[in-house]
Amino acid sequence: SEEAEVDLRDPGRDYELYKYTCQELQRLMAEIQDLKSRGGKDMAIEIEERRIQSCVHFMTLKKLNRLAHIRLKKGRDQTHEAKQKVDAYHLQLQNLLYEVMHLQKEITKCLEFKSKHEEIDLVSLEEFYNEAPPDISKAEVTMGDPHQQTLARLDWELEQRKRLADKYRECLSNKEKILKEIEVKKEYLSSLQPRLNSIMQASLPVQEYLFMPFDQAHKQYETARHLPPPLYVLFVQATAYGQACDKTLSVAIEGSVDEAKALFKPPEDSQDDESDSDAEEEQTTKRRRPTLGVQLDDKRKEMLKRHPLSVMFDLKCKDDSVLHLTFYYLMNLNIMTVKAKVTTATELITPISAGYWAGAVGSGAQDILTLRDYVLDLGHPYLWVQKLGGLHFPKEQPQHTVIADHSLSASHMETTMKLLKTRVQSRLALHKQFASLEHGIVPVTSDCQYLFPAKVVSRLVKWVTIAHEDYMELHFTKDIVEVGLAGDTNLYYMALVERGTAKLQAAVVLNPGYSSIPPIFRLCLNWKGEKTNSNDDNIRAMESEVNVCYKELCGPRPSHQLLTNQLQRLCVLLDVYLETESHDDSVEGPKEFPQEKMCLRLFRGPSRMKPFKYNHPQGFFSHR
């Protein structure tokens, strides 16, 4: 066969035969052309002979072509076999490198191993040999052997702890005896309660006659007579609500009653002596006319004048925190303002009621163009404050005089108080979380551990507050700004999550209505280039997991752990993103991010979406 003949033939000789055959074909073709040009009957026989010779040469060329193709196929087969051997050696080398790395890690773990006994504060060696009995100290053995010495010291520590445990049980028994004695005395004291009740019942006529239990309340109601209508409505409705529904709410009136009375007194006419009037005329002639700026300041002060009396709420919340609200009334503008303060161990960054600002609240407040410059002194004129005072400013039918409505205040009192309590508790919970986040710790409660896998490699390395202007200048937050979700009343933060060389930036918008309104995350991944939701569908999917599927991360009510759960989910998503990324075969060595998460399917669809949904309790990731 020709395949066997290829091994026997010399390629060089075949090449020389090929050149010789081509030259012969050229010669024969030239001779045939020359004979045809001459013409004649005798020439046909010679032309046929040369044609036959040409056919023989063509057969030779075909054979040489077949032999060349067979040589080419054999060469390719040999090349493929050699390449397979190289690939096998390369795979073997990678396996060996992985085993070397694994062994190095195990060696490092063994070298860094710390026993639990190192955390125990053992007694000093001198004290051990002085106090420990000889059967435990064994000085002749332990003095020269550090290992036996440590074991002996641990035995002595165990013996001491057993003695302390016995002493503890003895103290508990003494405590129980003392508690029983206390219970006997309590029963004796409780028998006095009926007698005291009878005494109190008998003294009721005296208390009513002397107004002893109602003195403070009586004074408050007397002072309330001098309140302006909105503050009076607020005081009456809040007092009724506190007595009927919420015992933690206390209401009080502050301010000068004399100044409030003076507002309604007619000015007294007084006649001065001629000398006094002449002196005043001389002073007025010498006085300089006030400048335009001073006149404007005087007009502003007169326009923003507050009533001397104010109403103060003390709303007690959980964790012994108290919300202090002081309500004022601007007489010329006919609106109410409020100042908020929280007494607690943590200091709040922004006012509790931030986000309730509604601009001009309607008729009677339309001229407040620069009221924001005076809120520190006057308080905030929130819309809910006007409703608590019974003030309503309809936009469709503006009214020249606004009357305080008791029914409007009563309809909003309970809802507003509950919302304020919720806001305080939510803000205090946030500040506890911020304290951990600023140290790079994402606190996850035991109730929410099931939402995440046991091992999360990515970690939070940075959590800082950013200004509203800085957030608007970020290139990957333009869509949030354009749809109007980045208001000036929100809080803005920047989080940085790292794993290896990958850095994930997360710009967070925190609405004051947290946690009923979830935070909004925008992501930017710096790894092999910059990736955002505009150029990477998987980044958009990660944002959807945090922003759209936030209900899975709310946890137990009132969902105060939503923010930290979203950040923990973000770390998990970054792990999945990096571990499912395809490895570049041109780079030798192990992958930078080995796959540790269990995924049913790494990619789906033409956009190669990654599996970001975590399935509990199976512990695998899948596509939504």
pLDDT in tens, 574-587: 999 998 887 665 55
Q: Mean pLDDT over residues 113-131, rounded?
A: 80
Same domain, 559 and 601: yes
Q: Return contacts of 612-616, CB within 8 angstroms, 24+ apart.
A: 612/538, 612/541, 612/542, 612/545, 612/573, 612/576, 613/545, 614/451, 614/452, 614/453, 614/572, 616/450, 616/451
Is 97 a domain residue? yes
* Tokens read off for 241: 């609500």
Of 172 and 217, more confident:
172
Closest CA to 338 of 372, 311, 309, 369: 311
* Tokens read off for 209: 């006659």
Is 363 a domain residue? no
Q: pLDDT digit string (tens) for 265-280?
A: 655 544 444 455 555 5
Same domain, 253 and 395: yes
Task: Give me the number of domains the chain comprises.
Answer: 4
- Tokens 């030259």 identify what position? 23
Same domain, 449 and 570: yes
Q: In sequence order, which residues have a C-beta less than 8 Å from that of residue 156 and are 6 or more positions away?
A: 123, 128, 131, 132, 136, 137
> β-strands 520-526, 502-510: how paired?
antiparallel
Question: At 549, is the secondary structure helix, strand, or coil?
Answer: coil
Q: Is the pLDDT score of 496 beyond 80?
A: yes
Q: pLDDT digit string (tens) for 73-112?
A: 999 999 999 999 999 999 999 999 999 999 999 999 888 8
Of 132 and 169, more confident:
169
Helices marked H in 191-315: 192-202, 204-210, 215-224, 229-244, 257-262, 274-286, 292-303
Cα Rg of the chain, angstroms = 46
Of 117 and 366, more confident:
117
Same domain, 78 and 165: no
DSSP assignments along 6-74, one per residue:
HHHS-HHHHHHHHHHHHHHHHHHHHHHHHHHHH--STHHHHHHHHHHHHHHHHHHHHHHHHHHHHHHHH
Q: What is the H or E stretch that residue 525 is in?
A: strand 520-526
Task: Give the domain range for residue 402.
Answer: 218-264+296-357+372-422
Is 22 a domain residue? yes
pTM above threshold 0.85? no
Is 134 a domain residue? no
Angle formed by the axes of helices 406-437 and 229-244, to 10°?
A: 70
Is 285 a domain residue? no
d(CA 471, CA 468): 5
Same domain, 396 and 468: no
What confidence score (pLDDT) does residue 366 get? Answer: 36
Same domain, 411 and 482: no
d(CA 188, CA 44): 151
Same domain, 323 and 459: no
Same domain, 47 and 162: no
Is 516 a domain residue? yes
What is the 3-state secondary structure of 385-423? HHHHCCCCCCCCCCCCCCCCCHHHHHHHHHHHHHHHHHH
What confidence score (pLDDT) does residue 271 get? Answer: 42
Q: Is the pLDDT score of 213 beyond 60?
A: no
CB 224: neighbour CB atoms within 10 A? 17
Q: What share of the chain is helix, strand, coil (3-state, %, to 5)?
A: 55, 15, 30
Q: pLDDT digit string (tens) for 498-548?
A: 998 899 999 999 988 887 889 999 999 998 889 998 888 999 999 999 999
Same domain, 608 and 548: yes
Same domain, 597 and 463: yes
Is 288 a domain residue? no
Q: Mean pLDDT over residues 368-393, rounded?
A: 77
Q: Mean pLDDT over residues 46-55, rounded?
A: 87
Q: What is the H or E stretch that residue 532 is in?
A: none
d(CA 544, CA 624): 11
Same domain, 235 and 383: yes
Is 119 a domain residue? no
Residue 364 burial by Cβ neighbours in a 10 Å radius (0-12, 13-18, 19+): buried
Same domain, 18 and 47: yes
